Chains A and B, each alone.
Chain A
Amino acid sequence: MWLWFHKLSSPPYAYRLATLLRPWFFWVAMALMLFAAYGGLVLAPPDYQQKDAFRIIYVHAPAAIMSLQVYVVMAISAAVGIIWRIKLGHAVAAACAPVGAAFTVVALATGSIYGKPMWGTWWEWDPRITSELIQLFLYLGYMALRASFDDTQRADRASAILAIVGVVNVPIVKYSVVWWNSLHQAPTISKLGKPAIALSMAWPLYTMVLGFMLYFAAVLCDRVRSEILRRERNATWLLETVKTS
């Protein structure tokens, strides 16, 4: 196990593994997403309350789930990078941030469009959407801090500390936002929430989430490769790899 971990954390091995896995992740993700979209848009019956508008949830919810999950992945790999001094950890963390921010933007945009027919406004200070907005700020802060250092190693370590502090704070932010909202409004069931849904409505959602995860893995493969290329400029293995490919 330890040996495997060590092997995986060596840049040449990780680089080749990412090259190898990327098409699998990508095409399986595409297939799953198409399948889920078909299930969500065509097969699933309209919701009795929200009619057809609930079909937005098949893109909104996976994006929102990913925005949090990518942040956790980012913080864990940053922690691995800073605690065990594994360069690959920092490379993965750096690769996560732009993808996570993109998911967050989608979650916000679709949540806002969802709000229009449901609440009649483009923006509602709903706890989920509010914490999604704060999540976006956390991503933007992370990327801004990373960009403000010229030296990659310092950027890695400083942003790793920020990612860890951020991930510790995320539950506090979520809780405080829910608490804040419950004081201002009668506690109704959040309209973007998850009422018990029928299987015919649920399976496309889970499939879509899985598709998003694999898509993220595919994009991560590409981004980690370019991070490795950037960091290992003059490594001989790299020059060999580039020449032959």
Chain B
Amino acid sequence: MQSSGLGALVRLVVARDLRLAVRHWDQVMQPLIFFAIITTLFPLAISPALDELRRIAPGVVWVAAMLASLLALESLFRPDVEDGTMEQWVLSGQPLSLLLLAKVVTHWLLTGLPLVLMSPLVGTALGMPESAWPVLMATLALGTGSLSMLGGVGAALTVSVRRGSVLLALLVLPLEMPVLIFGARAVDLAMHGEAVAGPLNLLAALLLFFVSLGPFAMAAAMRVSVES
């Protein structure tokens, strides 16, 4: 009974967050618009020549995705902490790590997945060939998952800090650098028609690693942030 009760609880969390997102769909859109704007900056700053842009396209798309996912983290836990829901969860005796994992997964569906779906559009604008799309989307799908997990730990640590968003960037970005390296390089290799299995496997390994350990770090961090 316990497990089915837990499953129901997780479903409840996911359903509630999805409903809230539908109601505040403008907030869901914001990271996506941010993603598009950042990638627009590069042609303006560097050169409109597609040849030049093509060379840096994987890096640009990846950096923009990283920053957009960072921006989206602001809305991950803060509303729940502010209205007291999180405190209830912490005190409820339910496994907090699982509940937070459910929240992060939902959050990824709302912010990570749209980024993945939108990436070919942005990539094309930067001169990326169609042949690189599948790899671009695959790296972003695996990579933004890792970013969400690492970001979740950072968000849980900084949620009670006033003006925590800059601090969050400072904490999370250095830890996210391996994901950026593997993701951007895989896309770059794909654009040159080379094998990408290596970096893709590494990205998948990182995702598994972060998903298996991240929830516990998140739960511990959330306890520190909420209890007091």
Contacts and interface: CB of A to CB of B under 8 A. Distances in A.
Would A and B touch once assembled, by the CB under 8 A criterion? yes
Given A154-B228, A162-B171, A180-B185, A145 B177 contact: no
A176 B177 contact: yes
A144 B168 CA distance: 10
Nearest to A175: B178
Interface size bracket, A side: 20 to 34
A58 B181 CA distance: 31
Contacts of B153: 161, 165
Output the residue of B158, B178, B185 with the most chain A CB within 10 A: B178
B164 A176 contact: no
A149 B170 contact: no
Interface in B136-190: 153, 157-158, 160-161, 164, 167, 170-171, 173-175, 177-178, 181-182, 185
Q: Tell me if B's interface is mostly helix, strand, loop or mixed.
A: helix
B40 interface: no
B160 to A, nearest CB: 8
Contact of A148 (B167, B173, B213, B224): B167
B105 interface: no
Interface in A19-42: none
A158 B178 CA distance: 23
Contacts of B177: 134, 173, 176-177
B217 A164 contact: yes
A207 to B, nearest CB: 33
Contact of A141 (B171, B182, B213): B171
B97 interface: no
B164 A148 contact: yes
A241 interface: no
A44 B1 CA distance: 73
A149 B228 CA distance: 12
A134 B181 contact: no
A168 B202 CA distance: 16
B221 interface: yes
Interface string B182-208: 100100000000000000001000100
12 contacts: A134-B177, A141-B174, A148-B158, A149-B161, A154-B228, A158-B225, A161-B220, A165-B153, A176-B202, A177-B178, A179-B181, A179-B202
5 nearest CB pairs, A to B: A176-B178, A137-B174, A141-B171, A157-B224, A180-B181
Interface of B: 153, 157-158, 160-161, 164, 167, 170-171, 173-175, 177-178, 181-182, 185, 202, 206, 213, 217, 220-221, 224-225, 228
